[in-house]
Amino acid sequence: MGTVRVLVVEDSLTVRRRLVEVLSADPQMEVVGEAGDGKTGIELCQKLRPDIVTLDMMLPTMSGLEATEYIMAYCPTPILIVSSSTNRGELFKTYDALAAGALDVLEKPNGHDNGVWEQIFISRVKLISHVKVITHLRARLPNRPPNRLSTAPLPNPVVSEKVEPGVHRLVAIGASTGGPAACLQILQSLPPCYPFPILLVIHIGQAFSTFFVEWLESQSPLPVAYATDGELLPPIGQARVLLAPPDRHLVVCNGRMRLTSDPERHSCRPSIDVLFESLAQEIGKQTIACLLTGMGKDGATGLLSIRQAGGRTLAQDQATSIVFGMPQEAIRLGAAERTLGLQEFAPALLALADNSQWRKA
């Protein structure tokens, strides 16, 4: 493995020195540049072409969000957000940056973690630095309000077999690294009258999850909320997106959603596998399950369980995945009935719905 070349963009000199110190202590890391504001960070990124940028969100001159949008539009580079932002406005900017192409977000060190944070930071930088990111054109587009529902015609879905009306009951989606942007694209491409409830497990750090549901709803044509323990599954025809809350597994049992604090799966809570496996047991044949971009293998065996139970299983392809780890593992296991590009998921979900239901809603 070659040396990972890192650009550190952080306005606090104390924090910046700490990040540089931690990175420089690893023989596989090389800090090629430092910046204290977004504008300088962009200039150094274009000049130095680092393997990865660690980026604070609250920066002078240009914010972390503006820097992310510009970098991903003009010199695409893996970005790890390192932030201590906790208020609503700042967290919304963090989510916007993830939607604009930043790969992951990590809390700043607090000085009381006994070296654990440093290990996580180095590991995350190494993993993310090898991701082949794609160009995001947001910075090249005129400023405009969020597009809550695209009016562009959807491509014709390719369905290999006739879908029997009334077979399906809900959609389950699992995602990790790159998930906020991927989930948002799918939701924005569905109509407000989409008939099936959507259960979503997405890996995002607990410290950054406070306003994630509110942000996602502000961008989506469908209502979005955290699942509530004991709540009945929404009926068909009442479109809702229900997320697993931070640090709780979401399962479906006897027609209700249950939240548990059972042990982590694949170092994750909530775990995609936990949700998928519960659906395979509860309503396997009625489930449409989607496994999207993400590191690791969470969701792969659960997707296989759903397929074995007779449900429909879709996995994101390598070309459109930010990280192909989870979908790749599912494909390796034979869990994915179909492998789709991200832009194909919404048309496929529409095709798998009873057209008469969603068109009349």
Provide the annotated active-site residues: 176, 203, 298
* Residues 300, 320: Cα–Cα separation, whole Å: 18
Burial category of 145 from C-beta neighbours within 10 Å (exposed 0-12, middle 13-18, buried 19 and up): exposed
Q: Quote the distance between the C-alpha of residue 103 and its chain's center.
A: 9
Q: Which residues of 187-215 are buried (b: 16+ CB within 10 A; e: fewer)?
A: bbbbbeebbbbbbbbbbbeebbbebbbeb
* Residues 207, 48: Cα–Cα separation, whole Å: 32
The residue type found at 11 is: D
Residues 6+ apart with CB under 8 A from 75: 45, 46, 49
How would DSSP label each residue in 138-152?
Answer: GGGSPP----SS--S
> Edge-to-edge, what's the strand order for the sheet holding 170-175?
224-226, 241-243, 198-202, 170-175, 287-291, 312-316, 338-340
* Residues 124, 105: Cα–Cα separation, whole Å: 9
- For residues 340 and 348, the answer to whether their CB atoms sit within 8 Å is yes
Would you give the DSSP letter of residue 209? -
CA atoms within 13 A on the CB side of 323: 24
* Residues 245, 206: Cα–Cα separation, whole Å: 9
CA distances from 133 to 22, 35, 280, 318 (A): 25, 22, 33, 12
- For residues 80 and 125, the answer to whether their CB atoms sit within 8 Å is yes
